Amino acid sequence: MELSRQIKTALADPDRKILLMTHIVLGYPSLETNRRVIEQMVANGVDLIEMQIPFSEPMADGPVIVQANQEAIEQGITVRGCLDFAEEMTKTHPIPFLFMTYYNILFKFGVEEFFKKAREIGIKGFIIPDLPPEEGEEFFALSRKYDIAPILIFAPTSTPERMRELSRFSRGFIYCAARKGVTGRQTDFDAGFNDYLRTCRASTDLPLAVGFGISRKEDVDYLTGKADIAVIGTRTINLVNEQGAAAVGPFIAGLR
């Protein structure tokens, strides 16, 4: 798949010891702010961007991202508006963009129609946390048809057998949740985490992205050599809330 090729090319760069992926909630606090934030992220070395289409019940997300989803919806963001904005971003910036959302968004839109539109606008992958492989036959068939990578999630509670099963369906990379629970809380790296990451690595040939609580250069440094992609989400949203969009560029630049 195209996303796999792009990630392999990026990882082959000797100056890229680990890739950075960031997360934004579309429409929060506004699409104009999203536009400025993405521009700064790309200019300062982000390798992939995960754009979340807001949903009313984002069960994998912590309070900061839940609030961002709710406020974006209250301000009138629509799925069509997200698609239009995403098309603008993929045409403006050369890095891969992914959609993160929940399956009801695709179901209500029309699953194949959503895949078709995403392919047309240049989206490279989908992260759908509430869709297990056992319930996603149509989804995974369409991901092959439209060459959009389905990104599945390993968790600390996943057995090696479950990880191997999830890896069979995933493309591009595996998203490794750094801890149990939802996004946002700081993650403690300890021996248990290292054991978990070794189990993840042994269970798949795909690159590993680690997210949930990654918020500092020290976190990225710790993951370098252990994972392939560090995922920063809640921290940049908080940064925009506290200091405005202009603070994102220096923060990203300081992560490596």
> pLDDT 10s digit of each residue in the chain, 256 long?
799 999 999 999 998 999 999 999 999 999 999 999 999 999 999 999 999 999 988 877 788 999 999 999 999 999 999 999 999 999 999 999 999 999 999 999 999 999 999 999 999 999 999 999 999 999 999 999 999 999 999 999 999 999 999 999 999 999 999 854 444 444 567 788 999 999 999 999 999 999 988 999 999 999 999 999 999 999 999 999 999 999 999 999 999 8
- CB–CB of 150/125 below 8 Å? yes
* Exposure of 75 in the CB half-sphere (CA atoms within 13 A): 16
- CB–CB of 15/62 below 8 Å? no
Reply yes or no on whether 57 is catalytic.
no
pTM: 0.93
Residue 57 phi/psi, 5-degree rounding, is -135, 70
Q: What would the two tokens of residue 142 be? A: 């369409």
Reply yes or no on whether 120 is catalytic.
no
Looking at 2, 32, 39, 61, which residue is catalytic? 61
Q: What is the CATH number of domain 2-253?
A: 3.20.20.70
Could you list the beta-strand ranges (E) of the chain. 19-25, 48-52, 97-100, 125-127, 149-151, 153-154, 174-177, 208-211, 229-232
Q: What is the DSSP letter of 193?
A: H
How far is residue 78 CA from its own chain's centroid? Answer: 20
Looking at 50, 161, 188, 221, which residue is catalytic? 50
